[in-house]
């Protein structure tokens, strides 16, 4: 599956601040452990997956069949950590 990942300015800034690599975001989007619909904006999806014992949440909007606009990405502390 080929998906072009586009980042908003906010997503770029937050990924730098949070030390989140674009490759990690791409991996979670392509092979998420869980996908949730956003509670407030039905056009947004939350892609959740495990990275280094933590859960990475990537929030994005499908702009076309091949394009995903990433709004934000963060390590979700609300989810339980995996046992290492």
**Apex CA 40: angle with CA 5 and CA 62, to 5°?**
20
Pull the structure tokens for residue 46: 């939350």
Domain boundaries, the chain: 4-75
Q: Which residues of 18-41 are buried (b: 16+ CB within 10 A; e: fewer)?
A: eebeeebbebbbeebeeeeeeeee
Contact status, residue 24 vs residue 51, Cβ threshold 8 Å: yes
pLDDT at 75 over 90: yes
Mean pLDDT within 10-35: 96
Q: With contact defined as beta carbons under 8 Å apart, do 25 and 8 qualify?
A: no
Q: What is the pLDDT of residue 84?
A: 40
Q: What percent of the chain has pLDDT over 90?
A: 81
Residue 58 pLDDT > 70, yes or no? Answer: yes
Class of domain 4-75: alpha beta
Looking at residue 81, its pLDDT comes to 52
């Amino acid at each position: 599956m080929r998906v072009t990942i586009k980042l908003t300015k906010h997503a770029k800034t937050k990924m730098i601040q949070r030390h989140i690599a674009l490759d990690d975001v791409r991996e979670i989007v392509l092979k998420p452990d869980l996908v949730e619909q956003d509670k407030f904006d039905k056009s947004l999806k939350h892609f959740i997956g495990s990275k280094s014992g933590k859960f990475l949440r990537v929030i994005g909007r499908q702009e076309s069949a091949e394009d995903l606009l990433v709004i934000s990405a963060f390590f979700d502390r609300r989810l339980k950590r995996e046992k290492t």
